[in-house]
Amino acid sequence: MAVAVLERQWVARPGLLGWLTTTDHKRIGLLYFWTTLVLFGAGGVEALTMRTQLVQPNEHLVGPETYDQLFTLHGITMIFFFIIPMSTGAFGNYLIPLMIGARDMAFPRMNALSFWVFLGSGIFLYASLAAGSAPDAGWFDYVPLASRAFSPGRNIDFYALALILNGLSSTLAAANFIVTILKLRAPGMSLNRMPLFCFAFLAASFGLLFALPALTADCIFLFLDRRVGTHFFDVAHGGSALLWQNLFWIFGHPEVYILIVPAFGIATSIIPAFTQRRVVAFPLVAIAELLVVFIGFGVWAHHMFATGLPTTTLIFFAAASALVIIPSTIQVFAWCLTMVSGAAQFKTPLLFIVGFILFFVIGGLTGIMFVAIPFDQQTTDTYFVIAHFHYIIFGAAVFPIFGGMYYWFPKLTGRMYFELPGQISFWIIFVGTNVLFFPMHIVGLDGMPRRVYTYPANLGWGTYNLVETIGGYITLAGILMLFGNLVVSYFSGERASHDPWHGPTLEWTTASPPPVYNFAVIPAVRSAYPNWDAPRSTKPLTLDVGHQQPVTSVDDAVLGEIAVMPHESPWPILLALGLTVVCALLVVEKYAVAGIALGLCGVVLAAWHWQAVE
């Protein structure tokens, strides 16, 4: 009976309008999922075009102008428009409220805003490609190459504004995750009973919140230097070329941990489910997930070891880079020992986690080598570094995303995927990834620098590059098979129960797919594995008057007040549209009109809050 009331209270607006104005975290998660998937496709096409260009020496598939845009877009896309929004936007949005027993994110309309701004920034970035002036100075965009003197087109203006817009979206999402995780946990889910997945997303969100301002400031300085004539980075007028690098990496190095930490979270969800064993050394792992991001703020200059900084500075940052390894080694052995002492079932999701561990260890070991300053200075900006961070960013950050797609597929769709094709897709991607990236270590040590659109025939780099390109296409085949399996399963997979894996966390206690309100009865929690440790019977908390959601205390999750969550709203999408239009007008130098558009955004924001007061 209560369920019928809830259904009525939480019914979604039908049709397209329902999706455009939705505040449901699951719908927003799916919107993120589909959008980032399209952008992943774009980043993949860029990567394979580069690999095809490099298949042999002096190839002429694309010229340097196109190649520079390709590797710049590939980096920006995969980092800002695929991994971060896929892990936080899609996985985080969909799963965190379910895992903590909440009915939505803390700020549902802000959640919608962060998606629509993200979509706006993605369309804005790719509009630059359509306009023939995509960013072309690398994702790291060093000045003075990116200054107006050496890059007079609009390419870099697109870069600066796209990243400011994207950063706004990530900041909103990060703040939302932090408040959701800290305040909306089901009663009884004290911090020490919070799933490790949530610790990981909490760490990633704090990381984003504190790292992004450095990037945003950097991009604003760059835009001002280029358009207004300020001299932040202009050495001839007292600016500094290294200021850009410092600010960029103050953001950029925490960013690489922000990319990987959600993957840790996914791994710590899949491992207990498929070993039917609690994660070994839970408190150490939880602390490690937070520490890795925290220490990650102190290592930025190890991207600048070849810039001629004083040796003392180098040693400080090398020491921090050494320290940040320890939280990762703790986690690797915690995962491994959980698998050893559990009863591991090597199904597709766990296979992807095994792949993840192997890639993370290989990429981590080459990462440790960069603690040795002279070795870093020798190999930085070569293919050795490309090999290192693709083992981490593709092998370790994306494999758990693939594994997570299989793991939560039954929860999202109510159907099972096909196991054998799933396992085959894993092996193809695993082999392909190694064939693609392993030879890059060798060719890097053999002197091949990064970001070259072609290379001479007489240096012996051709064979390695040929093998790498073949690996690229093998990986593509595996990824196509993975998604093919999921698409076929969506239509004809076996019906899944609400808990096919006997998973440990709360999302497995509700229906598949979950109802709009997630839980008919707000769960009561007394362990970190609430689906395994059924709670003592308590008075059920139904909350079926309007969009009600319990708010609990930060540390012990003691029930405080009952909040009423907002309904669908048209304002987030309108505001996002307005902000995107402002950026477009700034790029084409229509400053006055941009000012008017910004004023209109203010009106939209006022209208939004007018509604809120009502």
Partner 1 sequence: MNVLSPASHQARDIASLWWWMLGASGVGFAVVVGLLVAAWMRRRRPATADDEISTRFVVALGIVVPILVIGSLFVIANIFVIRTTQAPAGTATRLTVRVIGHDWWWEVRYPGTSVVTANEIHIPTRTPILLEATTADVIHSFWVPELNRKIDTIPGRLNKIELEADRPGYFRGQCAEFCGLQHAHMALAVYAQTPAEFRRWLAQQKQPVQPSNTVGGQLFLDGTCSECHTIRGTSADGTTGPDLTHLASRATIAALTLPNTPSNLAAWITHNQQIKPGNKMIDVQLPPAKLRALVAYLESLR
State which residue, 177 or 384, has the beta carbon closest to partner 1. 384
Cβ 379 to partner 1 shortest distance, Å: 7
Q: How far apart are CA 577 and CA 119, in angstroms?
A: 9
d(CA 585, CA 348): 47
Neighbours of 589 (CB within 10 A): 11
CB of 8 to partner 1, least distance (A): 43
- Rounded to an integer, what distance in angstroms lies between the CA atom of residue 293 and that of residue 251? 12
If we measure between CA atoms, which residue out of 370, 401, 399, 383 comes closest to residue 468?
A: 383
User: Rounded to an integer, what distance in angstroms lies between the CA atom of residue 595 and that of residue 57?
Assistant: 50
Kind and range of the H or E element at 236? none
In sequence order, the 6+-apart residues with CB closer than 8 A to the CB of 565 are 23, 103, 104, 108, 547, 548, 549
Residue 106 per-residue DSSP state: S
| Closest to 9 in 3D by CA, of 104, 73, 82 | 104
Q: Shortest Cβ distance from residue 313 to partner 1 (Å)?
A: 12
Question: Considering the complex, what minimum distance in angstroms separates the CB of residue 240 from partner 1?
Answer: 8
Residue closer to partner 1, measured from CB, 39 or 371: 371
CB of 534 to partner 1, least distance (A): 17
d(CA 365, CA 174) in angstroms, rounded, equals 30
Minimum CB–partner distance for residue 334 and partner 1 (Å): 5
Identity at 26, one-letter amino acid code: K
Q: How far is the CB of 400 from partner 1 (least distance, A)?
A: 16
Instruction: Output the smallest distance, CB 264 to partner 1, in A.
Output: 13
Task: Please say which residue, 353 or 486, places its beta carbon nearer to partner 1.
Answer: 353
Question: Minimum distance from CB of 148 to partner 1 (Å)?
Answer: 13
Compute the distance between CA of residue 161 and CA of residue 159 in angstroms, rounded to an integer: 6
Contacts 24+ apart (CB under 8 A), 297-301: 297/207, 297/210, 297/211, 297/250, 297/253, 297/254, 298/323, 298/324, 299/253, 299/324, 300/246, 300/249, 300/250, 300/252, 300/253, 300/254, 301/246, 301/249
Nearest to 565 by CA among 519, 522, 517: 517
| Cβ nearer to partner 1, comparing 206 with 453 | 453
Closest CB to partner 1 among 448 and 577?
Answer: 448
Pick the closest to residue 136 from 150, 155, 157 (CA basis): 155
324 DSSP assignment: T
395, 363 in Cβ contact below 8 A? Answer: yes
Nearest distance, CB of residue 74 and partner 1, angstroms: 13
Query: Is-contact 293 304, C-beta < 8 A?
Result: no
Q: Based on CB atoms, which residue is closest to partner 1, 386 or 524?
A: 386
Closest CB to partner 1 among residues 457, 488: 457
Beta bridge pairs of residue 415 = 495
Nearer to partner 1, 468 or 568 (CB): 468
Select 209 or 337, whichever has its Cβ closest to partner 1.
337
With CA atoms as reference, report the closest residue to 183 among 522, 562, 519, 517. Answer: 562
Structure tokens at 590: 């229509």
Helices (H), 414-536: 419-445, 462-492
**Minimum gap (Å) between residue 154 Cβ and partner 1:** 17
At its nearest, how many Å lie between partner 1 and the CB of residue 439?
Answer: 15
Q: Name which of 100 and 351 has its Cβ closer to partner 1.
A: 351
Q: Between residues 380 and 505, which has the closer beta carbon with respect to partner 1?
A: 380
Q: Which CB atom, from 192 or from 329, has the smaller least distance to partner 1?
A: 329
